[in-house]
Chain A
């Protein structure tokens, strides 16, 4: 098991670590409604709202097989998820864990 960000170009892996994914959901929280610097910690956000980013909606969830298309070691990377290319920031990619699949 290693962070997604460590996958080399061309490697295929399966996303694991559901607890990690869940924790991530709450890490990168933000919510709708009022706009502004302080909104991120709005009390309303405490439930449901917070961790919503598009990781889940875009198919990046535990059990999903992904292939690394581009990973230059710094900056964002590109994954192939089914037939779509998903660009992902390195920060998140460090927090998602994967299990490599031997080709």
Chain B
């Protein structure tokens, strides 16, 4: 045994030049992601959502000739195996055993954070504590004896201010030093008292005797503690049964002295230690100052003002999104359909490619991807404001304010956060359900998320409102978002009465202090959220666009798109949509392909309705220089218009993408739809099946296709029914 350990450490020592793995763990809202950004600087990309770490993310950078891999674990309050985030963090730490843990601790909230630290220390992995938000603690008049914490727990304690980059260099330095196996800082884990330590000793010896040390080298103490607690996962993993004789024996005394609930006993012990150490190491001022956060909360969470304030902030977000993004959308549209297409055409003429390739590039790739790319500005703007909501701390308040309403649909306030995120993109929203403790809540929330109108549906609305409702486009847009919310309430209520009976469980959630997020952090997180959309456009949507082009042009030499493969399939499907007012093969084809991602609905229309535009456009033989100048001038114009919109209007300015649109999609839409059928179509796009990526996310998150299947089924029925009611109802009362 000893030999093997020796070998291990030698092997580790020889590896030490090459690479180190640092895991970053801590409570939510302790400033973990800011700290990681500060440590890794611009050398890497960290995909993290403040408060809502979507997945375990890692980042790599060089430090004094070594490759450092930093793994960002989800923020959790404990390492118990009961929420998915805790299991992710725990599995990583136990099975992958990083070289060192950086434990991010909120210095203003020592006791609770130390409770988590103690759990981390049980793992026997070297630990360096970042005593973060040290400046805030000082402002509160706290005096923290970092050395005492370090010597009591056997770890390093570095005061840090992640937002200002203070203490970061020292933190990395210490983490690297602690990771060094030759120096082998063993954490002199704080004693849990004679009774418990004795039991641990007995269990350790027995487990060792059995020859099994299944989950790693120094994890024995941790394993023993978990076995004493009766932790299901560890019992399962070690194959030790709960009523094993030695386990029974080891815990006999504990049970007699402290009662049967040993898990509770250990929690009490850890809390006792954390509380004791906090009393010793922390000096608080006599009087607590009333903080800014409390003064803001007095208004924002006021019983009468809470909901109006929330609605007002949502309205502002929508208004600003469209005001700012509108002009840039128009500009992008002009650039893509004008100069970009022209350049591609001239290039292809130059190298003399066959006609079908020209068509594939312009009508397939540029028209398809372009139709989606045009909407980058509003999507990024929306992501920016959602990031602002999260980073400022208001998101948790919104959840608090909405708690009462959420109870009506069998959920509580915390589920509101994933739903709100859904307005940006449904995919991260599905992953954000991970923060919910209860599987019932998780599944129910995930089922309702697709009813939140995401950024990808926006292109469809904008194109259609632009054609039919340009005078009151803002109202029409609002009505769609609102309809989604109302139907979510209705479906939530139905699900509560059918699939998800039972009471909504405990609502408990921390309200972080208000913080003004730094511009840099805001931009990083906005980019992290928005880039998926960009990547999707460049890969997924490009591929689908090409696929659709072939679908529309095969069999080879087909005269009319209607007789192409896609056309034939769509013709067969079209009658299904006829009672909804859009039984054309063009609409059917865009809906069928839109299952992959909803923005494809517009890109398909772009291809289906695309006239043979190549020749007409070529006539305006502008030079590249003139084109560039034009792009610059119109961009400046867009900037000015965005600024004007923000300050001049109180209504929502709308995106009028391609009003001067030359490709003729709009004209074609105007011919094929009536205002009524257009509205029914938009509603259908809002509601019908979640996009493929959301379905995959659901599968990934729940480990079964069951909920994705339920979503497909109920949404198809809902979409068809609501669109039917709108179209037929509208006709009955004589609209359209």
A, B bound = yes
Binding site for B on A (CB under 8 A): 22, 25, 28, 30-37, 39-40, 44, 47-49, 52-61, 69-70, 72, 74-76, 78, 81-89, 91-92
Q: Which of B262-294 contact A (CB under 8 A)?
A: 263-264, 267-268, 271, 293-294
Contact B400 A78 (CB under 8 A): yes
| Other A-B pairs, 13, CB within 8 Å; known A37-B502, A92-B508 | A35-B439, A36-B440, A39-B440, A48-B229, A55-B506, A57-B115, A58-B77, A75-B303, A76-B403, A78-B400, A84-B112, A86-B509, A89-B508
List 7 A-B residue pairs with CB atoms under 8 Å apart, sorted by A's residue number.
A32-B84, A54-B77, A54-B437, A61-B268, A69-B294, A78-B301, A82-B112
| CB neighbours of B81 from chain A (8 A) | 32
Closest beta carbon of chain B to A33's beta carbon, Å = 8
Contact A37 B440 (CB under 8 A): yes
Q: A55-B506, A69-B294, A86-B508 are in contact. Are A35 and B704 (CB under 8 A)?
A: yes
What's the Cα separation between A68 and B229 when bound, in Å?
A: 33
Q: Can you list, as one digit per residue, whether each of B500-535 has a CB less than 8 Å from chain A (1) or not (0)?
A: 111101111111110000000000000000000000
| CB neighbours of B108 from chain A (8 A) | 83
Q: A37-B500, A47-B230, A87-B400 are in contact. Are A78 and B297 (CB under 8 A)?
A: yes
Partner of B439, one of A39, A72, A88, A91: A39
Q: A35-B704, A37-B499, A37-B501 are in contact. Are A89 and B506 (CB under 8 A)?
A: yes
Contact A40 B440 (CB under 8 A): yes
Q: A40-B502, A69-B294 are in contact. Are A85 and B439 (CB under 8 A)?
A: no
What's the Cα separation between A28 and B702 when bound, in Å?
A: 22
Contact A86 B439 (CB under 8 A): no
Which chain B residue lies CB-closest to A33?
B439
| CB neighbours of B80 from chain A (8 A) | 52, 57
Binding site for A on B (CB under 8 A): 77-78, 80-84, 87, 108-112, 115-116, 140, 229-232, 242, 261, 263-264, 267-268, 271, 293-294, 297, 301, 303, 396, 399-400, 403-404, 412-413, 437-440, 442-443, 499-503, 505-513, 702-704, 706-707
Contact A84 B509 (CB under 8 A): no
| CB neighbours of A33 from chain B (8 A) | 439
| CB neighbours of A48 from chain B (8 A) | 229-232, 263
| CB neighbours of A70 from chain B (8 A) | 297, 301
What's the Cα separation between A52 and B440 when bound, in Å?
A: 15
Contact A59 B301 (CB under 8 A): no
Partner of B293, one of A34, A85, A89: A85
Partner of B507, one of A22, A40, A57, A76: A76
| CB neighbours of B301 from chain A (8 A) | 70, 78
What's the Cα separation between A44 and B264 when bound, in Å?
A: 18
Q: A35-B702, A48-B231, A76-B400 are in contact. Are A53 and B506 (CB under 8 A)?
A: yes
What's the Cα separation between A82 and B106 when bound, in Å?
A: 12
What's the Cα separation between A86 and B27 when bound, in Å?
A: 14
Which chain A residue lies CB-closest to B441?
A30
Contact A72 B303 (CB under 8 A): yes
Identify the interface centre among A25, A56, A70, A85: most chain B CB within 10 Å of its CB.
A85
| CB neighbours of B77 from chain A (8 A) | 54, 57-58
| CB neighbours of A40 from chain B (8 A) | 439-440, 502
| CB neighbours of A22 from chain B (8 A) | 261, 264
Closest beta carbon of chain B to A70's beta carbon, Å = 6
Contact B510 A85 (CB under 8 A): yes
| CB neighbours of B442 from chain A (8 A) | 35
Closest beta carbon of chain B to A29's beta carbon, Å = 9
Contact B303 A92 (CB under 8 A): no
Contact A35 B507 (CB under 8 A): no
Partner of A49, one of B140, B232, B303: B232
Which chain B residue lies CB-closest to A37?
B500
Identify the interface centre among A30, A81, A86: most chain B CB within 10 Å of its CB.
A30
Which chain B residue lies CB-closest to A42?
B439
Q: A56-B267, A58-B77, A89-B403 are in contact. Are A28 and B505 (CB under 8 A)?
A: yes
Closest beta carbon of chain B to A56's beta carbon, Å = 6
Contact A92 B506 (CB under 8 A): yes
| CB neighbours of A85 from chain B (8 A) | 293, 297, 510-513
The 8 closest A-B pairs by CB, nearest first: A89-B507, A57-B77, A35-B439, A72-B303, A85-B511, A52-B82, A57-B78, A75-B404
Contact B87 A32 (CB under 8 A): yes
| CB neighbours of A74 from chain B (8 A) | 404
| CB neighbours of A69 from chain B (8 A) | 294, 297
Closest beta carbon of chain A to B638's beta carbon, Å = 42
Contact B82 A88 (CB under 8 A): no
What's the Cα separation between A20 and B97 when bound, in Å?
A: 38
| CB neighbours of B512 from chain A (8 A) | 85
What's the Cα separation between A83 and B271 when bound, in Å?
A: 16
Contact A53 B508 (CB under 8 A): yes
| CB neighbours of A84 from chain B (8 A) | 109, 112, 510-511
Closest beta carbon of chain A to B259's beta carbon, Å = 9
| CB neighbours of B704 from chain A (8 A) | 35
What's the Cα separation between A69 and B404 when bound, in Å?
A: 18
What's the Cα separation between A56 and B503 when bound, in Å?
A: 21
Partner of B506, one of A31, A78, A91: A91
What's the Cα separation between A70 and B508 when bound, in Å?
A: 14
| CB neighbours of A25 from chain B (8 A) | 264
Which chain A residue lies CB-closest to B235?
A48
| CB neighbours of A53 from chain B (8 A) | 437, 505-506, 508
What's the Cα separation between A30 and B506 when bound, in Å?
A: 10
Q: A32-B87, A48-B231 are in contact. Are A58 and B112 (CB under 8 A)?
A: yes
Identify the interface centre among A44, A55, A69, A75: most chain B CB within 10 Å of its CB.
A75
| CB neighbours of A55 from chain B (8 A) | 506, 508
Contact B506 A83 (CB under 8 A): no
What's the Cα separation between A28 and B412 when bound, in Å?
A: 14
Identify the interface centre among A47, A55, A57, A82: most chain B CB within 10 Å of its CB.
A57
| CB neighbours of A44 from chain B (8 A) | 232
Contact A75 B437 (CB under 8 A): no
Contact A88 B508 (CB under 8 A): yes
Contact A82 B303 (CB under 8 A): no
What's the Cα separation between A49 and B303 when bound, in Å?
A: 36
Closest beta carbon of chain B to A45's beta carbon, Å = 9
What's the Cα separation between A55 and B502 when bound, in Å?
A: 21
| CB neighbours of B703 from chain A (8 A) | 35
Which chain B residue lies CB-closest to A57?
B77
Contact A88 B507 (CB under 8 A): yes
What's the Cα separation between A88 and B510 when bound, in Å?
A: 9
| CB neighbours of A81 from chain B (8 A) | 112
Contact A30 B115 (CB under 8 A): no
What's the Cα separation between A55 and B271 when bound, in Å?
A: 13
What's the Cα separation between A78 and B301 when bound, in Å?
A: 10
Which chain B residue lies CB-closest to A89?
B507
Closest beta carbon of chain B to A67's beta carbon, Å = 9
Q: A87-B507, A87-B511 are in contact. Are A59 and B438 (CB under 8 A)?
A: no
What's the Cα separation between A96 and B297 when bound, in Å?
A: 24
Closest beta carbon of chain A to B241's beta carbon, Å = 13
Contact B437 A30 (CB under 8 A): yes
| CB neighbours of B115 from chain A (8 A) | 57, 59
| CB neighbours of A47 from chain B (8 A) | 230, 232, 242
Closest beta carbon of chain B to A63's beta carbon, Å = 8
Identify the interface centre among A25, A40, A61, A83: most chain B CB within 10 Å of its CB.
A83
Q: A34-B439, A54-B77, A84-B109 are in contact. Are A49 and B82 (CB under 8 A)?
A: yes
Contact A82 B109 (CB under 8 A): yes
